């Protein structure tokens, strides 16, 4: 119960952000100022992290650059892309600061990302390379986060069944044919509702049933029991990324 207020607050904050963003993009200057004022701590944090030092909003040019980046993110953000705005804004702010740092190094000549700005038919400046790069970076970060989440959930599920990742390393069949046969047994279990129920209720494999259906000796299945059970749990769970590792 203690988690619900936190989740509700995050949901409310997200709605406020979305509303302010829509108003700002429609030309509401008050909404834009409110959005920037609300997320000034966020802007300062990104600026400080990128500069690798404390940024004073009243003294450092980096804060002004970061503000311009935030404004740019507001103008360029496309909600139809289903990308988190703050992650998108962070990428734009960091990129603008990097351009600024490069411009300060007189001895080094580098092409800023703004060189790739182009104007569309309505004279709106668009930087397709930067947008593509920002979206790709965000998508990669989200995918990594989802993979970590799946690994944590799978580890928790293994623990419920008395297993661990360490066990899988030890009991994984050494020969490819043996692994293939074990996976076939696991798929047979995962595809059968009655056997799945047996696994979830007893935290064990229905070896007696499998002996008649799998075409693999009971002795072999007992030896591979932990490995087969772990694959069954993976196949039956919502593990989109982890399942790709066992795809044929």
pLDDT of residue 98: 83
pLDDT of residue 99: 81
pLDDT of residue 137: 57
pLDDT of residue 172: 82
**Tokens linked to 59:** 């003294």
Distances in whole angstroms, Cα of residue 49 to Cα of each of 28, 55, 176: 30, 9, 47
User: What pTM, to 2 d.p., does this model score?
Assistant: 0.45
Q: Mean pLDDT for each consecutive 10-residue tract of the chain (248 residues)?
A: 45 78 91 92 90 86 92 88 83 86 59 48 48 55 72 87 81 83 90 90 89 84 90 84 69
pLDDT of residue 139: 58
CA 15: distance to chain centroid? 21
């Amino acid at each position: 119960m203690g988690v619900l207020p936190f989740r509700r607050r995050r949901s409310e904050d997200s709605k406020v952000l979305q509303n302010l963003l829509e108003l700002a993009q429609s030309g509401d200057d008050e909404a834009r100022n409110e959005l920037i004022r609300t997320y000034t701590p966020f802007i300062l944090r990104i600026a400080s992290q990128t500069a690798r030092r404390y940024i004073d909003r009243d003294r450092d040019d980096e804060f002004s650059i970061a503000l311009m980046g935030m404004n740019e993110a507001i103008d360029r953000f496309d909600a139809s892309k289903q990308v988190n705005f703050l992650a998108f804004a962070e990428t734009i702010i960091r990129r603008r600061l990097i351009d600024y740092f490069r411009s300060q190094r007189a001895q080094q000549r580098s092409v800023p990302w703004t060189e790739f700005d182009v104007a569309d038919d309505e004279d709106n400046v668009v930087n397709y390379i930067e947008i593509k790069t920002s979206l790709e970076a965000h998508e990669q970060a989200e995918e990594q986060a989802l993979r970590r989440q799946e690994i944590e959930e799978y580890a928790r599920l293994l623990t419920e069944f008395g297993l661990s990742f360490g066990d899988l390393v030890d009991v994984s069949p050494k020969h490819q044919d043996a692994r293939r046969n074990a996976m076939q047994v696991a798929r047979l279990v995962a595809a059968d509702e009655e056997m799945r129920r047996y696994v979830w209720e007893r935290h064990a494999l229905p070896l007696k049933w499998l002996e008649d259906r799998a075409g693999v000796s009971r002795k072999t299945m007992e030896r591979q029991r932990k490995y087969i059970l772990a694959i069954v749990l993976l196949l039956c769970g919502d593990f989109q990324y982890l399942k790709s590792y066992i795809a044929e």
